[in-house]
Amino acid sequence: MNGIECHKNHLTDIKCTSHGPLTQDNLIKKGKNKSGSQAYRCKFCMRELHKKYYIKNKEKIDEKNRLYRKKNKEQMREMRREHYHATKKLNSSNKRKLDKKVNKKQVENLSDRYVKHLLSKNKKLKYGEVTQELIEAKRKELINMRENKK
């Protein structure tokens, strides 16, 4: 295990002294050393190195990515399409959960929107025809009904 010291079943990157003892999960295989043994690096150190490299070579990396996207337009389009359809299901289920929470709060607080919905629900009034005075009257009625139930 060249490049690593073993201390009580913890693997430590010799070059990294600031992150202390690391487990196998916190180390990245860094290829083979000249001697042929496996080399490891601390994930935290590698993250810092990648950030520095990106900052130093930002234009070069961006240009390389731009050229790749240009060459592989159809593949990129397909990836975006797959991602859209995969996240659409997740977003719609999360949206429903959020809508339920919002609706629950509106019902509890007797919001104008909720009361207006109740008034227009019976089809005698259109949603746009409901005035603020009607909303206030219906809200008072609902509050009285809730108090009577208790």
**pLDDT tens across 88-114, in order?**
777 777 767 766 766 888 888 888 888
Rounded Cα–Cα distance for residues 8 and 21 (Å): 9
Rounded Cα–Cα distance for residues 40 and 26 (Å): 10
Report if residue 53 sits inside a domain: no
Residues 94 and 68 reside in one and the same domain = yes
Angle, helices 43-56/58-71, rounded to nearest 10 degrees: 90
Q: How crowded is residue 139: how many other Cβ atoms within 10 Å of its Cβ? A: 17
Q: Is 82 exposed, middle or buried (0-12, 13-18, 19+ CB in 10 A)?
A: exposed
The answer to whether 89 touches 83, Cβ cutoff 8 Å, is no
Provide the mean pLDDT of the chain: 78
Residues 99 and 115 reside in one and the same domain = no
Q: Percent of the chain having pLDDT more than 90?
A: 25
pLDDT at 115: 87
Residues 119 and 100 reside in one and the same domain = no
CA atoms lying within 13 Å on the CB side of residue 46: 11
Domain count, the chain: 3
Report if residue 52 sits inside a domain: no
Report if residue 39 sits inside a domain: yes
Helices (H), ranges, the chain: 43-56, 58-71, 73-109, 112-121, 132-149
Residues 98 and 114 reside in one and the same domain = no
Range of the domain at 123: 110-149
- Cα 41 vs. chain centroid, distance in angstroms? 28
100 compared with 75, residue with greater pLDDT: 75
pLDDT at 66: 95
Whole-model pTM: value is 0.41
Report if residue 51 sits inside a domain: no
